[in-house]
């Protein structure tokens, strides 16, 4: 089977199956072999690896994964793509094609059955309409992971890597940096996809921490505090937390926490580091 990472072969297979792109599934297929090679390199795939691909499309990236990994499972929501994948991946006996929604699919049971419970790698050119839910879902479900290598919107990659004080810094930066160490592997322009997205893209690699960076008394409280602080960005941290539905601390409690941690009571959430959020959360968890 010829490689699909170019416009000619992609158009040929799409025409053969009379495939029409579904906007609602965020379908932008890769048509550039250099980008595909960069993804494989960033994920550091070897024959020891079990790789889960989210949204294989017509199998362009999947072919590369099958060549370099031990085993591959590819979960695709669009049932019209399944017969195409069966053809484009017919040369490989180390791939399983699954027709499902990744947000509903039981990844834990796949890992138990197909990889004896050992951690896996995730690789994907993600559908942009659900990038954040997919990333958060993988972390919150505590999937055993070696790393995640994903193509996402450049703007989301910037938010993921942002540091306190920048305009991109927010709840997503803190959540991803709490669970993992992000690094930007490549910037990818719209002409590497068919159809072309309206925005620039980036490949980002996330390596989850095997041991948490900091001790957290109550993870749920930490994430509520983070959401509360960025819910209304222009408010001070004290007002953001005080006004947030679902949290019931008095202003005195919040000010006491900040004073005891030597943080200004006029500070805004956007200026606080992850470590400072955790200290505040651990202090308030005793209230
Ligand atoms: N991997 C292919 C490539 O790089 O050319 C396709 C990438 S395309 C950006 C995203 C793919 O994810 C599409 O094939 C789309 O149908 C699929 N998809 C969208 N939502 C999904 C979901 N909830 N679960 C699984 N796959 C999904």
**Ligand 1, atom 5: nearest CA belongs to which residue?**
29
Ligand 1 atom with the shortest distance to the CA of 36:
4
Predicted pLDDT of residue 138:
95
Q: How far apart are CA 134 and CA 203, in angstroms?
A: 15
Q: Give me ligand 1 centre to Cα 22, in Å.
A: 10
- Which CATH architecture group holds 219-284? Orthogonal Bundle (1.10)
Q: Give me ligand 1 centre to Cα 53, in Å.
A: 9
Q: Give me ligand 1 centre to Cα 15, in Å.
A: 19
**In the structure encoding, which two tokens stand for residue 272, read together?**
């606080």
Q: Is the CB of 201 under 6 A from ligand 1?
A: no
> Ligand 1, from 7, 10, 25, 98: best to mutate by most atoms within 8 Å of Cβ?
25
* φ, ψ (nearest 5 deg) of residue 210: -75, -35
Assign residue 122 a region: left if phi > 0, alpha if psi is -120 to 50, beta otherwise? beta
Nearest 5°: the CA angle 246, 157, 148 is: 90
Q: Give me ligand 1 centre to Cα 127, in Å.
A: 5
Q: Give me ligand 1 centre to Cα 98, in Å.
A: 12
Instruction: Give the distance from CA 122 to its chain's centroid.
Output: 9
Predicted pLDDT of residue 78:
98
Q: Is the CB of 61 under 6 A from ligand 1?
A: yes
Q: Is the CB of 56 under 6 A from ligand 1?
A: yes
Q: Is the CB of 49 under 6 A from ligand 1?
A: no
> Which DSSP category does 176 fall into?
H
Domain boundaries, the chain: 7-208, 219-284
Domain covering 7-208 assigned CATH 3.40.30.10 in the classification: no
> Ligand 1, from 7, 59, 65, 77: best to mutate by most atoms within 8 Å of Cβ?
77
Digit-by-digit pLDDT tens for the chain (287 residues) are: 668 999 999 999 999 999 999 999 999 999 999 999 999 999 999 999 999 999 999 999 999 999 999 999 999 999 999 999 999 999 999 999 999 999 999 999 999 999 999 999 999 999 999 999 999 999 999 999 999 999 999 999 999 999 999 999 999 999 999 999 999 999 999 999 999 999 999 999 999 999 888 999 999 999 999 999 998 878 899 999 999 998 999 999 999 999 999 999 999 999 999 999 999 999 999 98
Q: How far apart are CA 78 and CA 100, in angstroms?
A: 8
74 three-state secondary structure: strand
194 three-state secondary structure: strand
Q: Is the CB of 26 under 6 A from ligand 1?
A: yes
Q: Is the CB of 229 under 6 A from ligand 1?
A: no
**Ligand 1, atom 17: nearest CA belongs to which residue?**
55
CA atoms within 13 A on the CB side of 161: 16
């Amino acid at each position: 089977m010829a490689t699909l990472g170019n416009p000619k072969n992609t158009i040929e297979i799409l025409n053969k199956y009379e495939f029409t792109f579904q906007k609602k599934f965020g379908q932008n297929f890769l048509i550039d072999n250099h980008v595909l090679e960069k993804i494989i390199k960033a994920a550091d795939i070897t024959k020891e690896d079990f790789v889960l691909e989210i949204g294989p499309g017509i199998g362009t990236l999947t072919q590369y994964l099958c060549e370099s990994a031990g085993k591959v499972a590819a979960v695709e929501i669009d049932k019209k793509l399944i017969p195409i994948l069966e053809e484009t991946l017919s040369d490989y006996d180390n791939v399983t094609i699954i027709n499902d929604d990744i947000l509903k699919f039981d990844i834990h049971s796949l890992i138990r059955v197909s990889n004896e419970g050992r951690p896996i790698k995730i690789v994907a050119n993600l559908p942009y309409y659900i990038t954040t839910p997919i990333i958060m879902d993988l972390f919150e479900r505590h999937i055993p992971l070696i790393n995640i290598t994903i193509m996402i919107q450049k703007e989301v990659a910037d938010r993921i890597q942002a540091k306190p004080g920048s305009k991109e810094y927010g709840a997503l930066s803190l959540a991803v940096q709490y669970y993992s160490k992000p690094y930007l592997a490549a910037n990818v322009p719209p002409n590497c996809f068919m159809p072309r997205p309206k925005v620039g893209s980036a490949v980002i690699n996330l390596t989850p921490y095997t041991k948490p960076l900091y001790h957290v008394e109550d993870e749920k409280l930490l994430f509520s505090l983070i959401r509360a602080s960025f819910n209304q960005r222009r408010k001070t941290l004290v007002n953001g937390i005080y006004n947030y539905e679902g949290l019931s601390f008095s202003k005195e409690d919040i000010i006491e926490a900040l004073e005891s941690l030597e943080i200004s009571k006029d500070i805004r959430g956007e200026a606080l580091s992850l470590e400072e959020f955790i200290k505040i959360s651990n202090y308030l968890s005793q209230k």
